[in-house]
Amino acid sequence: MKLADLKVIVTGGAQGMGAHFATRLAEAGAQVAIGDVNEEGLAKVVASAKGLPGAIHAHRLDVSDEAQCESFVAWANTAMGGLNGLINNAGILRDGLLVKKDRTTGEIIKMSKAQWDAVIGVNLTGATFMVRETVAVMAAAGTPGVVVNMSSIARHGNRGQSNYTAAKAALAANTVTWSREFARFKIRVGSIAPGMIETPMTQGMNQKARDALVAAIPVGRIGVPEDIWVGVKFIFECEYLNGRTIDIDGGLSM
């Protein structure tokens, strides 16, 4: 699929990778609908895209809210005059060990249900709602399309990320499931598994953990959103890519 022909939703589009993807798509002539809870960030992305060959439309979206996913997809379909793509990018971190012992008091501390629910709600349930609603619109219109999920190399397992790992592993597995289910609609599904990427989310990590991860990357640097964009572009453009997750991680093993 040519980028200029895309009418695509990007979740988590107010900053970081989502904002970068939206801008790159608009530069290529695509129509883009970005959603995020950060309305100020959405406005900045729209303003920065003025004069580009394509266009960026923005609307508030909390992907963990099923009703908002449904209404956002309907709005995007109307705003862009159709819909043939989704980048499932929205995500949050609420890291912590499932069970740990306080070094001072010896108290046993458990990951809270709130920590678990927040990450699963955005990174998995919300992502699934967005796929369901987007594909339903494309299938009803008989429009071929592409879904790009954002998984993570953490899907293989990473200390302190039980919630995040569970969500990202499920997205990678469902990339295969959905590619088989949606083939009848001529909708392809691919996934990118980023490693350590410079974004506002990773900038909020524990500094010691962040430094250790960067030091373990064989290419010798942290990734940038453009590195991931190259993979996203490939999934859209390669008509023979379906049901697969591409690791873009600089060689990092967790």
pLDDT for res 67: 98
Calculate what percentage of the chain has a pLDDT beyond 70: 100
Average pLDDT over residues 88-117: 95
**Span 231-252, pLDDT tens digits:** 999 999 999 999 999 999 999 8
Question: Would you place residue 254 in the very low, low, confident or very high pLDDT band (cuts 50, 70, 90)?
Answer: low
Of the candidates 21, 129, 164, 236, the residue annotated as catalytic is 164
Question: Would you place residue 208 in the very low, low, confident or very high pLDDT band (cuts 50, 70, 90)?
Answer: confident
Average pLDDT over residues 191-213: 84
Q: pTM above the 0.85 mark?
A: yes
Question: Would you place residue 213 in the very low, low, confident or very high pLDDT band (cuts 50, 70, 90)?
Answer: confident
Task: List, in order of start, the domains of the chain with CATH numbers.
Answer: 3-247 (3.40.50.720)
Quote the mean pLDDT of the chain. Answer: 95
Q: What is the DSSP string of the chain?
A: --GGG-EEEEESTTSHHHHHHHHHHHHTT-EEEEEES-HHHHHHHHHHTTTSSSEEEEEE--TT-HHHHHHHHHHHHHHHTS--EEEE-------B-SEEE-TTT--EEE--HHHHHHHHIIIIIIHHHHHHHHHHHHHHHT--EEEEEE--GGGG--TTBHHHHHHHHHHHHHHHHHHHHSGGGTEEEEEEEE-SB-SHHHHTS-HHHHHHHHHT-TTSS-B-HHHHHHHHHHHHH-TT--S-EEEESTT---
In the annotation, is 240 catalytic? no
pLDDT for res 113: 97
**Span 59-94, pLDDT tens digits:** 999 999 999 999 999 999 999 999 999 999 999 999
Does residue 201 carry a pLDDT above 80? no
Does residue 203 carry a pLDDT above 90? no
Does residue 212 carry a pLDDT above 90? no
pLDDT for res 164: 97
Question: Would you place residue 132 in the very low, low, confident or very high pLDDT band (cuts 50, 70, 90)?
Answer: very high
pLDDT for res 33: 98
Question: Would you place residue 142 in the very low, low, confident or very high pLDDT band (cuts 50, 70, 90)?
Answer: very high
